[in-house]
């Protein structure tokens, strides 16, 4: 798992309140370029940290997963842990 620090953790943090959100709102909240947020969300989805949800398959709404919550909990260990993904997986299991 290769995360863009701090942006990916900031996205997880913005979604950690349990509310779903889209790239436009997240880019505003995080004061980041919308196109950049749009590139990061599918990557976070591939890692299982967020999921695309909504009434329609292409609604653009995302929510944090349990794995994403675990990654956020271990944020401080990310840069020094050679197997951060295993740490996150162990937390979720």
Termini Cα distance of the chain: 17
The number of CA neighbours under 13 Å toward the Cβ of 83 is 5
* Cβ atoms < 10 Å from Cβ of 25: 17
* Domains within the chain, CATH numbers bracketed: 7-92 (1.10.10.10)
Residue 3: predicted pLDDT: 95
Closest by Cα among 50, 76, 77 to 61: 50
For residue range 38-91, list pLDDT tens digits in order: 999 999 999 999 999 977 777 789 999 999 999 999 999 999 888 999 999 999
Beta bridge partners of 62: 21, 52
> pTM of the full predicted structure?
0.91
Structural contact between residues 66 and 92, judged by C-beta atoms closer than 8 angstroms: yes
């Amino acid at each position: 798992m290769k995360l863009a620090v701090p942006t990916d953790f900031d996205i997880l943090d913005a979604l950690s309140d349990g509310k779903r959100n889209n790239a436009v709102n997240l880019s505003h909240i995080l004061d980041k370029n919308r196109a950049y947020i749009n590139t990061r969300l599918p990557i976070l989805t591939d890692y299982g940290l967020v999921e695309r949800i909504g009434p329609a398959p292409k609604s653009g709404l995302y929510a944090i997963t349990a794995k994403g919550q675990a990654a956020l909990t271990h944020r401080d260990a990310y840069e020094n842990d050679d197997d951060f993904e295993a740490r996150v997986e162990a937390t979720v299991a």
